[in-house]
């Protein structure tokens, strides 16, 4: 399946902004983080198609995954 991965803020350092990735259907979001070398404890917001998700979420073809560190503002 083909996914679009979007990284933000400090997660872009030495990685990328946006990338298409080919992964097996049902791939776990937690395993995607490992593949990207992002520690779950540094993750603030995990979105799949704009919906808050967690490391147990299974991904499907066409999903857009957005990964943010812990951030705030206002």
Partner 1 sequence: MSGYSGTILRVNLSTSEIKKEELDSKLALKYVGGRGLGTYFIAKEVDPKADALSGANKLIFATGPLTGSKAPTGGRYMVVTKSPLSGTIASSNSGGFFGAELKKAGYDLIIFEGKSEKPCYLSIKDDQVELRDASACWGKKVSQATDLLTEASGDPKSRVAVIGPAGEKLSLIASIMNEKYRAAGRSGVGAVMGSKNLKAVVVRGTGSVESADEEKTKTVIKDILAKIKENPVTSTGLPTYGTAVLVNVINETGIYPTKNFQEAYTPSADQVSGETLAEKYLVKKTACFRCPIACGRRCQIDGVEGEGPEYETLWAYSADCGVYDLPSVIKANNLCNEYGLDTISAGATIACAMELVEKGHIKDDELDGTPLEFGSSEAIIEWTRKMGEGEGLGAKMAQGSYRFAESYGAAELSMSVKKLELPAYDPRGVQGYGLNCATTNRGGCHVRGYLISPEILSLPEGIDRNSIEGKSAWVKAFQDLTGVIDSLGMCLFTSFAIGADEYTSIFNAIVGQDWTTEKLMQAGDRIWNIERQFNLAAGIDPDQDKLPKRILEEAIPEGPSKGQASKLGEILGQYYADRGWTEAGIPTPEKLAELELA
Q: Toward partner 1, which CB reaches closer, 1 or 6?
A: 6
Residues that bind partner 1 (CB under 8 A): 6, 8-10, 12, 17, 42, 44-45, 47, 49-52, 66, 68-74
Q: Minimum distance from CB of 50 to partner 1 (Å)?
A: 2
The DSSP-derived string for 16-71 is: -SEEEEE--TT-BHHHHHHHTT--GGGEEEEEETTEE--TTPBP-TT-EEEEEES-
Tell me the closest approach of the beta carbon of residue 67 to partner 1, in angstroms. 10
């Amino acid at each position: 399946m083909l996914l679009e991965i979007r990284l933000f803020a400090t997660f872009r350092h030495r990685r990328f902004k946006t990338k298409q990735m080919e992964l097996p259907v049902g791939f776990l979001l937690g395993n995607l983080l490992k593949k990207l070398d992002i520690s779950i404890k540094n993750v603030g917001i995990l979105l799949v198609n704009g919906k808050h998700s967690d490391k147990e979420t299974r991904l499907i073809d066409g999903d857009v995954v957005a990964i943010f560190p812990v951030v705030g503002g206002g």
